[in-house]
Amino acid sequence: MIPQDAAAPSAEYPPLRLHVPEPAVRPGGTPDFSNIRIPRAGQVNRPDVDVDAETIRDLAFSVIRVLNRDGEAVGPWAGALSDTELLEGLRHMMTLRAFDARMQMAQRQGKTSFYMQHMGEEAVSCAFRRALNPGDMNFPTYRQAGLLIAGGYSLVEMACQIYSNTHDPLKGRQLPVMYSSREHGFFTISGNLATQYIQAVGWAMASAIKNDTKIAVAWIGDGATAESDFHAALVFASTYRAPVVLNIVNNQWAISTFQGIARGGSGTFAARGLGFGIPALRVDGNDYLAVHAVAKWACERARRNLGPTLIEHVTYRVGAHSTSDDPAGYRPKTESEAWPLGDPVIRLKNHLIVRGAWSEERHKQAEAEILDSVISAQKEAESYGTLHSDQRPSARDMFEGVFADMPPHLRRQRQEAGV
Amino acid sequence: MPRRTMIEAIRDAMDVMMSRDDNVVVFGEDVGYFGGVFRASQGLQAKYGTSRCFDTPISELGIVGIAVGMAAYGLKPCVEIQFADYMYPAYDQIVSEAARLRYRSNGQFTCPLVVRMPTGGGIFGGQTHSQSPEALFTHVCGIKTVVPSNPRDAKGLLISAIEDPDPVIFLEPKRLYNGPFDGHHDRPVTPWSKHDLANVDDGHFAIPLGSAAIRRPGEAVTILAYGTMVHVAETAATEAGIDAEIIDLRSLLPLDLDTIEASVKKTGRCVIVHEATLTSGFGAELCALVQTRCFYHLEAPIARVAGWDTPYPHAQEWDYFPGPARVSRALIETLEA
């Protein structure tokens, strides 16, 4: 019950009112990104890697960009990648997009229960992966499959995991897209948001304790930065100067919740790092070259034992949150088309054409080839079964791996299950 | 053989493991330079350096979270949560992460981690320095839960816990840190130096997880207890003049069901004792298992003596704590049933 005098007016102060942030536009409205400040490509300076966080506070409020409107690479962050590397990067992004499309369709066809696509965010994980060395470890969320594809992981294994079939490397125990590959520097994905962010810091600390040269890379979305683990990760990374790169992928949306709900009055997500004394950068997440350059810079800092870096990747979640989501219920249908940073695949393609290393014809041809290879991987995976087919991991596998050695109570339960 | 307090035995276990295995690291709040608020890590930082034993920010989720990452890398973290009452912020990392790494990654990543937590009441600790949250761990698949009741077991079990390839929650009854306690708060406390179970070997020795110990053989009734309640049960049986067989479970999961089953089949009666609150406590699981396994041998209903279903109070400490009088009464009622 509210005490009666709670509503009594005060002569001195007007009544308090709760502030709940709202996105600028809702369904039916005209998309409007005029409030997003985007500097021209090449404008943001490139500090030395041993810079003091205090002196680059402006980088947490700007956006590092390399590719300009004409598809040219400009400014101090340009110039690190060869034609061959960029062509490979384009192929990685196109493969991820094609794979997403096929798996999205497979889910609609009932071949699996669930899928989450990356549309619009392909550059973030694909370009970052190129900055890593063998042995480095990513602590990804469910929307960084580009790390696997750019790291050479098999599409067949990815599809088998999604289908929970007899060749599923995780034996059917995990929800689709919760991949794990130690060999490819890809830590086991958890459904619990943000938990991996602090674990990445611990992994990096372990590498430092053992005087190793490997670094860790943490990943989180804009919405999940509100979880306590995010704050713990920044505290511990800062305290122990852990060799970790702390990525925030700001795709503007956490399911139906716009990024302003998680960001509050902080201005940018990158700005959160400043309070912890961690150098913080914002980067155009749809600019393959910029993401890669910033990743290299941050990884170099970590490898030189200069401590953690926080990177906010500014991008847009073009697709639905998952196959269980319909964005038409909370945002304008055409919002992604109005997104000012464009499409990462098209932007890299145009850059390669400007460089004279690519053409529309070769792009079309590559699209067809990539689709063929994805379909062929999908077919192979389907030959090992899909979710509701008879080919699935055995019920016996369900009892394995809870502990290193099966304790007596689990043995009894396995017997009871008749497997 | 040297006599040690429980604190000394725990410190010795960490010392032994840190010297044997470079991958063992020890950290938590006040654990480094100061050696822990209970002195359990005293001297370890000076001996092994700040990269092996260090202080952390006050963040339980952070402590367990970094430990999970370190364990995934290949270290063997043995971390401290200052009081079990403060483990809740870390619960997500324990339940959703540490317990599941092996299962969900099909063995690609594992979590050889020990989380030490001072637990239990009897010290006027009030609501947030007295809790016994073991049932919140035994319900979670993928972790092991251990509660020692004396210095010798504390060292041998902690060494096993650190060597275990899976996460172990190691609950240390803080009431037992400096001496055994039988619930007679009105009598002077005897130090561990007067107790045989304080004879703790130097060097490395392990007591396997999942093995109970019969503290007192008997024929009339089986008492299942762990932690401080083992000592309370011993005194209660003596005072009631009952030939009870007292089983110190030591490890709640994995559980030594064979020892329990053999004892109850012999005595035909069973009393379960724990400090934790009654409803859905670990005693309920023990009760269900005994009922299922020993039904045709039981001559009386299984009794449970536990903390009341209230938060742990301050002034009413001894009305709350299941002391020897309550345990004796339950033993007599079970024998008369």
pLDDT in tens, B40-82: 999 999 999 999 999 999 999 999 999 999 999 999 999 999 9
What's the pLDDT at A4? 57
Confidence of residue A265 (pLDDT cuts 50, 70, 90): confident
pLDDT digits (tens, 9 = 90+) for A123-136: 999 999 999 999 99
For chain A, what percent of residues have pLDDT higher than 90?
94
Over residues B1-5, mean pLDDT: 90
CB-based contact A195 B257, cutoff 8 Å? no
Angle, helices B282-294 vs B257-267, to 10°: value is: 60
What's the pLDDT at A2? 56
Using DSSP's 3-state secondary structure scheme, residue B88 falls into helix
Contact between residue A204 and residue A242 where contact means Cβ atoms under 8 Å apart:
yes
Sort out which chain B residues have CB atoms less than 8 A from A176's CB and list them: none
Q: Does B313 touch chain A (CB under 8 A)?
A: no
- Residue in B25, B92, B166 closest to A404 by CB: B166
A·B CB contacts under 8 A? 139
Above 70 in pLDDT, residue A60?
Answer: yes
User: Nearest residue of A to residue B209 by CA position?
Assistant: A407
pLDDT digits (tens, 9 = 90+) for B124-182: 999 999 999 999 999 999 999 999 999 999 999 999 999 999 999 999 999 999 999 99
Q: B307 phi and psi, to 5 degrees?
A: -65, 150
Q: What residues contact B296, with CB distance under 8 A and at least 6 apart?
A: none
Over residues B266-276, mean pLDDT: 98
Mutation target to probe the A interface, by most A beta carbons within 10 A, among B45, B53, B59, B285 is B59
- Residue in B51, B59, B72 closest to A199 by CB: B72
CB-based contact B103 A228, cutoff 8 Å? no
Query: Model's pTM, two decimal places?
Result: 0.97
Residue type, position A342, single letter = G
Please confirm whether the linkage preceding B57 is cis (ω < 30° from 0).
no
Q: What residues contact B167, with CB distance under 8 A and at least 6 apart?
A: B71, B94, B98, B99, B111, B112, B113, B114, B115, B142, B143, B144
CA distance A279 to B14: 37
CB-based contact A199 B69, cutoff 8 Å? yes
Q: Does B291 touch chain A (CB under 8 A)?
A: no
Using DSSP's 3-state secondary structure scheme, residue B190 falls into coil
A188 vs chain B: nearest CA distance in angstroms? 6
CB-based contact A202 B73, cutoff 8 Å? yes
DSSP annotation of B95: I
Residue type, position A319, single letter = G
pLDDT digits (tens, 9 = 90+) for A1-25: 555 555 566 789 999 999 999 998 9
DSSP annotation of B189: P
pLDDT digits (tens, 9 = 90+) for B296-319: 999 999 999 999 999 999 999 999
For chain A, what percent of residues have pLDDT higher than 70?
98
